[in-house]
Amino acid sequence: MSDEEFTFRGKTMDELKQMNLNQFSELLDARGRRKIQRGLRDNEKKMLKDLEEKDRVKTHERDMIVVPKMVGNTVEVYNGQRFIEVEIDEEMLGHYLGEFSKTRKEVSHSAPGLGATRSSQHVPLK
């Protein structure tokens, strides 16, 4: 680990935690700023309130922006099949929760499938 203290757009973590949401939104890009200035939805407000009381919260809110209040907590984000555990740290500030919970699994191809043409069945050795 390095000795440098984490900063987000020139602000330390202590300064970020003392900001309200509107002040923090000024540090985000245009999309994040617009989302916060239009107001959080009821489910998002409830999730932030639950995070103050508990260390772990389950949510379907994949489009929630990571804010300083969430740092250090664990959020279980739904990916369409199950909840994926995501530990929030400083580098995630300003990103969406959905970015850390993949919805698709990696594709691995093994052999030509049924109905493949003769030329696609040929697999070169090198």
Tokens 């739904």 map to which residue?
78
Per DSSP, 27 falls in state T
Q: Give the tens place of pLDDT for each residue, 29-47.
A: 999 999 999 999 999 999 9
Edge-to-edge strand ranges of the sheet holding 74-78: 56-59, 74-78, 83-87
pTM: 0.79
| Domains, the chain, ordered by start | 7-101 (3.30.860.10)
Q: Give the tens place of pLDDT for each residue, 59-72.
A: 999 999 999 999 99
Buried b (16+ CB within 10 A) or exposed e, 2-22: eeeeeebeebebeebeebeee
